[in-house]
Chains A and B, each alone.
Chain A
C-alpha cells in the first residue's frame, strides 16, 4: 500500500511533528546516560512518548519500516522506564543510532519502506531480550497472530509485544474506524485521531482494509475507508466506545489471548538476533550507510525549506501589509485630485510603513541559536568517546535569536571550533589528573547579547595555546618572517597567528578536527557574515574563542518607557514586573532609608531609582490645573513636599482613613501616580521610577558609536516607528551607575541566602510592640523589655536641663526620641503621643512614639544588614511593612552612657583568660547579637559555628573557657550532643552551660536539665542572659 502514498499535507504535518519529537530526544538521551539510574522519570517518559507517537502516526501511511523501528525503540525505552534496563552508555548508543535512523527514514517517508533497518532492529532486539529469562528470549522475535471473529483482518506481532500489551490489566481491542465517517466528516485529521487514542492507551498496529474501498480508476466514489486498530488500554469495554468516539459494534474486545493467537510462520525478514551485537558492528552498518548517501529523490517536499514564525510576528506583518494598502489608497486618491499636501502625507506614510514592513519581515528570519547548539551535545559525546576523553558540555543562552542566514553560516565554523576544543583543547583524562585538573574536561558554549552584538563564546579548560609555540610554528611554516615576529610582542597577536591561512596546530591531522581545515577557514567564514573572531588563551588554562556577530539583525523584545519626555527601551528579559502606585499611596509604599528611597514590595525592600535623576534629566510633573508638564523640584519621592510657606503642609497629608484628599491636588491626581518597573539582572534587583510605561515592542538593536563607549548604562539604540532614535538601557549598567550595593560575590550571596533560609526556618518567635516614628516609619521593640505604655499630649513634655522629661507617677521620667540616636526621620508632630517606658540597668526612661500601637507575636525573619545602625538591631517585615527593630539597650547606652557607670558594670574578665565565654551559635545574626550583649558587659567572647567547632576549641585548651553559651539546633553536632560530650569529659564536665533557644519546648528544657544545663534562655532576652552570666561568674568567684 505504500506505493499509493502521496505527500499530502497531513503527512507533512506528521513528519514535522515526528521531527520535533526527535529534536529533543538527543539531549534527553544524553542526560539519561549521564544521570543513569537517577534520571528524571519524566524525561524517560517523554522519550518513550516520542517513540510511541512516531509509531502511532506511521501506521496510517503504511510506513512499516518507521513503525517497526520506532516500535522496537519504544520497547527498549519502556524497559528503561520500568527500570528493568540500565541506561548504560552502550544502551544509549543503540537508542541514539535508532533515533538517527528514524530521522533518516523520516527524511524520505515514501522511500522509507525500502530502507534497511536490520542492524538497528537487531541491536534493539538484543537489548530487549537481555533482561528476559532464557526461556522467553525467543519471544522477542517469535511472531504470533491476533484475530477476532468479527474482524476481517489479522494482526501479526511478536509474542513479546502481545504479552506486554496484556500486562497491567490492559485490555486488547480491535477498533474499527472509518476514515471518512469517523474522522474526516467530523472535521478531524487522522493525526487527531491518533492523538486521542494515544491518550487513552497505546496503538499496537493499524491495518487498512483496501479491498472494500473499490477501485479509484473505475470512477466510482468509494464511501468507506475502514481502518482497523489494534489497541491496548486499561479502559473497560463499556467505556471504550464513548472515549474514542465509536459505536459499540465497531469495538471488538480481543478475548483471552491464548485462544486467539497461534504460531505464525517465522517472518522472512526477521533478522537473526545472534548475528548482531549490542553495538552495531561496522560491517553491518556499512550497507545502510551507503543507502543513506543516496540523494533523496522526493524528500524535498517534506523537508521543505520551511521556517517557523511566531504568530505575533505574522500578525504584525499582516497589520503592516494592511497599512500599506491603506497608504496606497491614499496615494492613489491624492494623486487623482493632485492634492500636493495629501500626496506628501501619503508618501510619508508609505515611507514609514515600508520601513516597518521591512523590519517585520526581518523578524521572521530570527531563529534561536539552539538550532545549531542542539547538535553539539551529541557531537561532543561521540567525539569524546572516539578519542577516549571525558568531556562535559555546558550550553547557555540557546534561546538567543539570530538571523537565519547567520545561523546557517555559523554552523560550520562553530562545529569546527567545538571539534577543535574536543580534539586539541581538552587533554586525556590521565593527563588532566596529572596536571591536577578534574579528569572530565569542560567545554562551554554561550550565546548572549552584548551592546547590541551577538556574542558566541566557546571555551574549554584544556591545555590552552602557547603564543610562543604558535609564533615558532608560523615562522617554521614560512607564514611570517623573522622580522615580523620581532615586531609583534603581545601574546594575543601571537595567538592570532593561528588564523593565518595554512596554519594548523594539530601534531597530526586527525579525522576529528583537522582534515586540513584550520582556523583560517573559520575566520574567513565568519568574515563573510561580518563576524569577528577573538582568541584568548592562557597556557594550561584553556582557550576561549569569542565570535562576535553583526548586530543589525539582533532583535530583543523590550518595554518602552519614558522619562522627561525621552523614550527609552528596557530589555524585556530584565523586567520582572510593572507597578503603578497611586499618588495617594506613595507615602505608604515608598519610604526613605538612610537618605535613599526604597520600595516595599510584598515584603521585599527594593532600592528605588529614578530614571530622570539617574540620567540627570529635568524631572517633570503633570499639572492638572493647567494641563501642562512642569519641572519638578523634589529631590526624592519620599520627600516632604513644601507648601508655599515653606513649612511641611501637614494639613494636606492624607492620613490613613482620613477624608479624601482634595481632588484638584496634583499630588493626588492620577497623572501623578508613580510608575515603577521592577528590574532584575543577575543578583541585582531594583525598582526604577519612570514617567510613563508604553508598549512592549520588538526592537532591532543597533550599536552606539565609539564616542559613547563609556556609557555602559546603554545597551545600544533602536529606531522607532517614527524614525527617531530611542536609547536602550542596560539594566546592570544602570544599577552600577546608581552605585547600588550589589551582591556580586556569588559565594557571599549563597551564604546570605542560606542564612536567610535558616532564619526563615528557625525564625524567632518574638512579641513586638509596634509603633510609628516619623511619617511612614514603622518600628518595633521587644515587648519583653517594655514596662508600660503611657499616653501623653505633646504639651506634657517639659525640658529640664536640656533633657525632655514628663511627669510620671510621683517623679519625672526622662524621655527620648529615636532620632536622637538612630538616623531616622524626626518624630511626627502629633498632638498626642505615646511614651513607651523601659527599665534598663535599674533605671526607667521613656521612648517617644507615635500611635497607633500594635502588638505582634510571630516568627520574625530579621534582616540585620540593610537597616542596621546604632539603636536599630535590624529590620523585619511585619504586616507587609518594613519595620525597624529597636535595640533599646544599645539605644540607651548610646544616649546616656553615664547610666552604666563602672561600678554597675559586671566583673571584667580575669587575666589569664578565665573569663572567656564560648558562644556556640550557627546563625550569624544571633551570634553577632548575643556576642555584642555579652561583650558589652565586659566579657571576652570566643565564637564557634557549631558543636563540632566548639568541641575542638574546648578540647584544644580545656582551661581556657569559663562558660559555654550554646544554641541547640545546629547542623552537624547540635547543642545537646555538645553538652553530653562535655559532661563525659572530666575536664569540661564542671563548666557552666547556658542554653539559648528560640522555642522553649518543655521537653527540651527537661532534657537540658538532665544534662545539667545551668540556665535556659530565649534568644535575645538580653537582660536575663546577662543577669545569669553575672550570677554564674559571681558564684565561680
Chain B
C-alpha cells in the first residue's frame, strides 16, 4: 500500500559508510544498516546449510546467521583469511545477520553526488550487489554494497 523504501539519491544528503575488506577490495556498507561490529565470534556450524553460511552465533540472546560474504558474493581468490575476520552485524528484513569480512576499515563520509553507478562486475561478482561506487579523495575506490540484494536468499 505505501511506497516501499526506495533508494533516495538526493544531492544534499551526505551518507556515511563503514568500510570493510575482502582481499584488497574495499566494500562500503551504509552505516545506518550496521548494528555493530564484532570480533572472534564463537560460531556453531550448521551442517548441510548453504555453503556461504558460516554458522550461527549467540548475540545477546538472539541467534544470528553468519554469512561468509566471500562465498555469498562469489569472490574469486583465496579463502577467508583466518587471522582476524571482522564480523559486521547488519539489519536485514527485521533480522540481524552477521557478515564476515577479511578486515575492518574506517568509516567515511560521502555526498550522495559522489556516488557513481556500479560497473557490471566487481572482482568477479555480480554488479547488482552494489548500489554504486565511491571514489574518495585518495583515489580509493569503494564499492557500496546493497545489503538487501547481497543477502537475498539463494
Contact = CB atoms under 8 A, between A and B. Distances in A.
B116 interface: no
Interface residues of A, number: 28
Given A566-B45, A711-B46, A717-B44, A725 B58 contact: yes
Contacts of B1: 484
Contact of A710 (B42, B50, B58, B63): B50
A708 B65 contact: yes
A719 B48 contact: no
A617 B49 CA distance: 12
B153 A705 contact: no
A704 B153 contact: no
Interface string A728-760: 000000000100000000000000000000000
Contacts of A710: 50
Nearest to A493: B1
Given A703-B63, A704-B56, A708-B53, A727 B95 contact: no
A707 B42 contact: no
Interface string A701-730: 011111111110110110100011111000
A713 to B, nearest CB: 7
Most chain B CB atoms below 10 A, which of A484, A552, A724, A726: A724
Contact of B57 (A615, A708, A711, A725): A725
Nearest to B1: A484
A707 B97 contact: yes
A724 B95 contact: no
B45 A724 contact: no
Interface string B39-82: 00010111111101100111001111101000000000000000
Nearest to B64: A705
Contacts of B48: 615-616, 711, 713, 737
Given A711-B48, A726-B44, A704 B58 contact: no
A186 B28 CA distance: 79
B93 interface: yes
Most buried by B among A703, A706, A724: A706
Contacts, number: 73
Interface string B15-57: 0000000000000000000000000001011111110110011
A544 B64 CA distance: 32
B53 A727 contact: no
A794 B48 CA distance: 49
A682 to B, nearest CB: 22
A566 B57 CA distance: 14
A617 B67 CA distance: 20
B100 to A, nearest CB: 13
Contact of B63 (A615, A617, A704, A723): A704
A371 to B, nearest CB: 26
Contacts of B46: 704, 708, 711, 714, 727
Given A723-B42, A725-B57, A705 B97 contact: yes
Contacts of B95: 705-706
Contacts of A616: 47-48
Contacts of B53: 707-708
B42 A724 contact: yes
* Chain B interface size, under 10 / 10 to 19 / 20 to 34 / 35 or more: 20 to 34
Residue from B49, B53, B63 having most chain A Cβ neighbours under 10 A: B63
Nearest to B97: A705
A617 B53 CA distance: 16
A502 to B, nearest CB: 15
Given A724-B42, A725-B57, A725-B63, A708 B49 contact: yes
B67 A707 contact: yes
Contacts of A704: 46, 56, 63, 65
Q: Which of B46, B57, B95, B97 has the most CB of A within 10 A?
A: B46
A141 to B, nearest CB: 65
Contacts of B44: 566, 717, 724-727
B57 A702 contact: no
A101 to B, nearest CB: 47
A552 B44 CA distance: 19
Given A703-B63, A717-B63, A725-B57, A615 B47 contact: yes
B90 to A, nearest CB: 12
A722 to B, nearest CB: 9
Contacts of B47: 566, 615-617
Contacts of A737: 48
Nearest to B72: A707
Nearest to B43: A725
Contact of B61 (A484, A705, A719, A726): A719
A711 B46 CA distance: 9
Contacts of B45: 566
Highest count of chain A CB atoms <10 Å: which of B42, B47, B52? B47
B153 to A, nearest CB: 6
Contacts of A703: 63
Interface of B: 1, 42, 44-50, 52-53, 56-58, 61-65, 67, 93, 95, 97, 151, 153
18 contacts: A616-B48, A705-B63, A705-B95, A707-B49, A707-B50, A707-B52, A707-B67, A708-B46, A709-B153, A711-B46, A717-B44, A719-B58, A719-B63, A725-B42, A725-B57, A725-B58, A727-B46, A727-B56
Interface of A: 355, 484, 552, 566, 615-617, 702-711, 713-714, 716-717, 719, 723-727, 737
Given A566-B44, A707-B53, 20 more contacts: A484-B1, A617-B47, A703-B63, A704-B46, A704-B56, A705-B64, A706-B95, A707-B52, A707-B65, A708-B46, A708-B65, A709-B153, A711-B46, A717-B56, A719-B61, A723-B42, A723-B58, A725-B42, A725-B57, A727-B56
